[in-house]
């Protein structure tokens, strides 16, 4: 006869594994969504370490920042 506590332990281990996988999947989805978001002009300027006016100049002249 199988020990019921062993069955419970195995099922709890399985539930724990599934929860860890679900949490990891959720983190991956959040990271993917963030990477797909557009930056504001201010955020892009900060990322490139240039002034906002410089960013507008690049856009006006259809230039890139050399990156």
Per residue in 10-32, pLDDT (tens digit) is 999 999 999 999 999 988 887 78
- CA angle centred on 32, ends 26 and 38, rounded to 5°: 135
What tokens were used for 67?
Answer: 């990156």
Provide the sign of the torsion angle of the four alpha carbons 4, 13, 16, 28, taken in this order.
negative
pTM value is 0.47
Say yes or no to pLDDT of 66 above 60.
no
For the CA atoms of 66, 64, 44, 41, the dihedral, rounded to the nearest 10 degrees, stands at 150
- Which pLDDT band, with edges at 50, 70 and 90, does 1 fall under? low
What is the reported pLDDT for 65? 56
């Amino acid at each position: 006869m199988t020990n019921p506590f062993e069955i419970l332990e195995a099922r709890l281990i399985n539930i724990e594994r599934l929860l860890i996988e679900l949490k990891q999947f959720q983190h991956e989805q959040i990271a993917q969504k963030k990477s797909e978001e557009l930056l504001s002009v201010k955020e892009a300027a900060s990322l490139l370490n240039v002034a906002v006016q410089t960013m507008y100049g690049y856009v006006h002249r259809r230039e890139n920042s050399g990156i």
